[in-house]
Amino acid sequence: MKLKRISALMLAAVMTVGGATTVMADPLNTATGGGTTITGEGKVDYVNTKIYSVTLPTTAAMDLTIDPQGLTGLENGKTATLKELEDYAGLVASKGKALVTNCSSVKIKVSVELLGTGSATFVDSAAAVEAEGENILLYALPSAVDVQDNADNYEASTTGVLISTGSGTTLDFVLEPAEYVVSKSDSGALSYKPKDGQKGHGTAISFEGAVNKDADWSAYSGAAATKTIGMTAVFTYDADLDGAVADTTEGAPYGMVAMGSGTITVAAKAKAPSIGATGTYNKATGVITATVNLGTGAKATTLKSAKYGSSSDGATNEVVSPKIEGTTFTGSVSSSVKSGWSSKAAGSTVYAVITLDDGTSEAVALTVQ
């Protein structure tokens, strides 16, 4: 029994990013792939106990705001036009993004069981929301990209997973492991710990939807509320993937296992423009390369200017023939600068200041190649 407890502690240290590293001072004979099988010199026994490290969202991140009248269109202490209120009327949104990150050293399947609760009627289409009654359309909108450790990196996919009452809905995600490294001390002891800067892989989920603007929702609010509306979220995780495979088709939510039914297509959200902080300068060709995202939808913009120089402050020369294809920015320096910079050492840095029409600007550090 004692041995089993010790083993459990060891596994916890193995599986935890930045966790109880002191435990790792104990010598290990072997630490095999995934870290779920460890044997030691008699004092640490193998036991079939798998301990995972998974970051999960709490209810605080998922709490729902339901706005039948569009009152959130008002800014504090200000007025709003009827049109502005109408734009917000009927919207449902979660307070934050529900972050799910696998910090373990093995690939795992994380499932979340979602079940609509309360007195309202959960429907499955925007049209059904408008029918008479206290109707709500509520869906989970997972990220299209690997979010890792910060929900701020969330990018909405276009797959909304409907939340219903009855037996509820289960979303399955297959999440890649965090990277771990094995090192050997002078005494020959092996330790197994997360690679520097490793933060795991995961997703984030936003909860959105709509309610019937014309229904009377007064019974759901205030101290004297007699009705409730909400959902439950229970998480499960295991290294036994049970055949689950993440859907890797373009646009699919990151890590999510495809669902045969129970989803709706959500209009792509406008994406803000962005400029990568680093790029390259090829001294043989004189070409500058950087990453520039021009945004989408209402937030789409265009290139305003691109200048270069030896320092970010000195970037005053216009880039020759600048263009953006996809998210790749290219342009050249003048032939005289190209000649002058030909003596620059590989790995040194020059700069390009790229500015977009919406005001987004970045001094891009270009590594000389």
Partner 1 sequence: MDKPEEGVQNVQESARERRKTSRLQIVLNVVACIAALGMLAAITVQMSRQKEVTETGPVTPGYVRGTVVTKDNVDEVLASAGESVPAGSYNCTMNVEWHFEDSGKASYDAYVLNSAFNTYTVYFDVSLRETNELVYSSPYIPVKAELDSIQLTSRLDKGEYPAIVTYHLVDEDLKELSTVSVAITLFIEN
Residues forming contacts to partner 1 in the complex (CB under 8 A) are 1, 4-5, 8-9, 12, 15-20, 47, 49-69, 71-72, 74-76, 92, 95-96, 99, 103, 113, 117-118, 151, 217-218, 220-222, 228-238
**Phi/psi-derived region of residue 321, left when phi > 0, alpha when psi is between -120 and 50, beta in every other case:** left
Q: How far is the CB of 53 from partner 1 (least distance, A)?
A: 5
Nearest to 248 by CA among 120, 146, 327: 146
- In terms of CB distance, is 138 or 354 closer to partner 1? 138
- In terms of CB distance, is 152 or 250 closer to partner 1? 152
Whether 17 and 55 have beta carbons less than 8 Å apart is answered as no
Longest dimension (CA), the chain: 78
- In terms of CB distance, is 49 or 278 closer to partner 1? 49
Q: How far is the CB of 336 from partner 1 (least distance, A)?
A: 50
Question: Residue type at 290?
Answer: A
Look at the block and give the residue holding tokens 């590594």.
367
Whether 119 and 134 have beta carbons less than 8 Å apart is answered as yes
Question: Residue type at 138?
Answer: L
Whether 291 and 366 have beta carbons less than 8 Å apart is answered as no
- In terms of CB distance, is 112 or 350 closer to partner 1? 112
- In terms of CB distance, is 152 or 186 closer to partner 1? 152
d(CA 366, CA 349): 5
Nearest to 97 by CA among 163, 143, 164, 159: 143
H or E, element range at 270: none
d(CA 259, CA 43): 46
Q: How far is the CB of 47 from partner 1 (least distance, A)?
A: 6
d(CA 143, CA 191): 34
**Phi/psi-derived region of residue 133, left when phi > 0, alpha when psi is between -120 and 50, beta in every other case:** left
> For residue 290, what are its two tokens?
């950087």
- In terms of CB distance, is 68 or 295 closer to partner 1? 68
- In terms of CB distance, is 119 or 335 closer to partner 1? 119
DSSP 256: B
Q: How far is the CB of 173 from partner 1 (least distance, A)?
A: 15
Q: How far is the CB of 120 from partner 1 (least distance, A)?
A: 8
Q: How far is the CB of 21 from partner 1 (least distance, A)?
A: 9
Q: How far is the CB of 271 from partner 1 (least distance, A)?
A: 20
Query: What is the total residue count of the chain?
Result: 369
The set of residues, in sequence order, having a beta carbon less than 8 Å from that of 251 and lying 6+ positions away, is 144, 157, 158, 159
- In terms of CB distance, is 118 or 133 closer to partner 1? 118
- In terms of CB distance, is 255 or 331 closer to partner 1? 255
Q: How far is the CB of 198 from partner 1 (least distance, A)?
A: 13
Q: How far is the CB of 217 from partner 1 (least distance, A)?
A: 5
- Angle, alpha carbons 109-110-116 (nearest 5°): 140
- In terms of CB distance, is 46 or 341 closer to partner 1? 46
The set of residues, in sequence order, having a beta carbon less than 8 Å from that of 306 and lying 6+ positions away, is 288, 318, 319, 322, 329, 331, 352, 353, 354, 355
Q: How far is the CB of 233 from partner 1 (least distance, A)?
A: 5
